[in-house]
Structure 1
């Protein structure tokens, strides 16, 4: 599947709107699930996803296959955007500004997709060693930065980055099966 994503992303880099629409169609469910998992609100997840796709459109030519699969690259863009929104919301709370209450209106389709994705991810996470699993869970599911991971684990930055990189490579191989 990643070869089709690479072709679509390459065409997107040249300004091909149809290729971008097809890439969106093929990947939006996974990106939305990541955003919703982190943000826990449909409106914020949709905002993060929209901004992520704008970045994909503008930065398609910056993708390099040696950095991971297209979907992993896109998920990281969406994840970072969702984390930006979380940090912004935390900053607003610190300043006393209010925001909307969290929404709990998950559609059955989203719930089913989330359940299936979590089962696949959990299965693949079980193949990681304990250090890789813990580091990835803290980074991707709890939103800790590399610096925060260093403090939390008491490990050097290079080790944190290596554990995450190797763990993601293992997860990629597992999820592509």
Structure 2
């Protein structure tokens, strides 16, 4: 790679030339993806981080200082931060998922009054969610589908499915926490 060419691409990028962003993505996308994959450990999450990295770079392009470091080094810093953010989100999603899963697991097939009440409460809470979040959670919990299977069934990208699951679980958990506070 020609260092002068990198400097020209960096200058065009900072100036807001979208073609420079494309060149950067073509050159450094594989590097960013490999770093993200090494940190987050899954291809779909690494793809999300890679996209987030370039979106963040584009939005923050005015902060890039070629005197302080190279464009690839700047991108490496961004991908590391975005990967850590992704891991935090995954942790939050797991906690929300576990909270909701505990509610579902507590509902066995017995016909006890408590069980019927619990099922009704869960159904009511699911009904309060936006349609897409509700449908995605139903496919995950009632049908036992994975994120990839839900994406195939709904035609949504896997990242969008994950977002709907995460947001839906967070909403359900907040509602249950509020209900527990008033109980």
Matched with 1:89 is 90
Does residue 53 in structure 1 map to residue 49 in structure 2? no
Instruction: Give the CA deviation at 1:102.
Output: 10
Instruction: Give the CA deviation at 1:91.
Output: 2.2
Compared CA separation, residues 42 and 66, structure 1 to 2 (3 A): same
Q: Retained in 2: the 8 A contact 1:34–1:78?
A: yes
Max Rg structure: 2
Q: 1:65 aligns to what SS in structure 2?
A: coil
Q: Note the aligned Cα RMSD (angstroms).
A: 2.6
Q: 2:51 aligns to what SS in structure 1?
A: helix
The answer for unaligned runs of 5 or more in structure 2 is 102-139, 149-183
Compared CA separation, residues 31 and 101, structure 1 to 2 (3 A): farther
CA deviation vs aligned residue, 1:73-118 (integer Å, no higher than 9, x gap): 1011011101101011112223426899799xxxxxxxxxxxxxxx
TM-score after normalising by structure 1:
0.51
Q: 2:16 aligns to what SS in structure 1?
A: coil
Length, aligned pairs only = 103
Q: Retained in 1: the 8 A contact 2:36–2:46?
A: yes
Compared CA separation, residues 63 and 81, structure 1 to 2 (3 A): same
- Structure 1 runs of 4+ with >6 Å offset: 98-103
